[in-house]
């Protein structure tokens, strides 16, 4: 049956049609939703990780690419879990191949759970000590998933104590038209604040009145109630211009 067939059979064995209906609604796989055209079969994330753990060694990157091209959502997410395992244990040549495979398939990494399981663990780590210009290209994309991918990749930089690109892309994406980008920007600003509150506060003091409300709410989620109230009321005074 081959590696791809075995993965598909393993996922089908634990699929749940009732759960699939709920997943479809949750990820907006409905007419007019951001996941329109996708198909879920109802496999839990822990089960997908278990399948990935069983088969990641035997799958070639070509086979993983086949799974990324699947019409089944869980097959694509399982493929990403396989890539994360391969990346963590691979050498530089293998890691670069995985990085390039991801970039060649961004149109199939087309929902927020796929992006968030991929960008911080595959794109960001590769770019930590390399040219990051690809993130500017992704942030300028017409594809919402590439824009979310750009900001989510910076999670790897944040973990390394490097906030520059998170702030740079956050400012660039403040006017983004999509709620899923607004949420990702706010989430990354919150992660910066978890490590250096002053950095996030300096950014927010400049931009809180101009950013989408959901971005601000995500960014200040861990702040004290009174401080959150001040930001939401717009009573924080921006720093003076140098």
Q: 226-242 burial, b for 16+ CB within 10 Å, e for fewer?
A: eebebbeeeebeeeeee
Q: Give the C-alpha separation, 181 to 145, whole Å.
A: 8
Q: pLDDT exceeding 90 applies to what percent of the chain?
A: 95
* 237, pLDDT greater than 90: no
pLDDT in tens, 174-185: 999 999 999 999
Query: What does the pLDDT average to over 122-143?
Result: 98
Indicate the CATH number of 1-109 among 3.40.50.300, 3.30.70.260, 1.25.10.90, 3.40.50.720: 1.25.10.90
Query: What does the pLDDT average to over 114-142?
Result: 98
What confidence score (pLDDT) does residue 236 get? 84
Q: Give the C-alpha separation, 163 to 181, whole Å.
A: 18
Q: Give the C-alpha separation, 152 to 136, whole Å.
A: 13
Show me where the domains of the chain are located.
1-109, 128-242
Indicate the CATH number of 128-242 among 1.25.10.90, 2.30.130.10, 3.40.50.10800, 3.30.70.1710: 1.25.10.90
pLDDT in tens, 159-209: 999 999 999 999 999 999 999 999 999 999 999 999 999 999 999 999 999
* 224, pLDDT greater than 90: yes
Q: Give the C-alpha separation, 123 to 188, whole Å.
A: 15
pTM for this prediction: 0.94
Q: How confident is the model at residue 239 (pLDDT cuts 50, 70, 90)?
A: low
Q: Say whether 128-242 and 1-109 share the same fold.
A: yes
* 68, pLDDT greater than 60: yes
Q: How confident is the model at residue 24 (pLDDT cuts 50, 70, 90)?
A: very high
What confidence score (pLDDT) does residue 238 get? 67
Q: pLDDT exceeding 70 applies to what percent of the chain?
A: 98
Taking all residues of the chain, what is their mean pLDDT, rounded to a whole number? 95
Query: What does the pLDDT average to over 77-98?
Result: 98
């Amino acid at each position: 049956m081959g590696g791809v067939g075995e993965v598909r059979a393993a996922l089908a064995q634990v699929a749940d049609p009732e759960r699939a209906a709920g997943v479809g609604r949750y990820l907006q796989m409905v007419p007019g939703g951001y996941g329109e055209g996708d198909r879920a079969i109802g496999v839990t994330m822990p089960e997908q990780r278990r399948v990935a753990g069983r088969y990641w060694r035997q799958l070639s990157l070509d086979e993983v690419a086949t799974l990324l091209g699947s019409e089944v959502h869980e097959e694509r997410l399982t493929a990403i879990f396989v890539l994360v395992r391969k990346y963590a244990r691979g050498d530089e040549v293998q890691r670069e191949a995985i990085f390039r495979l991801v970039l060649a398939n961004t149109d199939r990494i087309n929902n927020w759970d796929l992006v968030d399981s991929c960008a911080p663990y595959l794109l960001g780590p590769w770019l930590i000590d390399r040219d990051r210009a690809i993130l500017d290209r992704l942030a300028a994309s017409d594809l919402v998933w590439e824009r979310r991918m750009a900001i989510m990749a910076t999670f790897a930089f944040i973990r390394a104590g490097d906030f520059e690109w998170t702030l740079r892309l956050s400012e660039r994406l403040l006017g983004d038209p999509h709620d899923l980008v607004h949420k990702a920007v706010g989430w990354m600003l919150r992660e910066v604040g978890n490590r250096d509150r002053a950095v996030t506060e300096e950014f927010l003091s400049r931009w809180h009145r101009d950013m989408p409300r959901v971005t601000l709410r995500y960014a200040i989620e861990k702040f004290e109630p009174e401080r959150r109230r001040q930001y939401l009321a717009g009573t924080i005074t921006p720093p003076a211009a140098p």
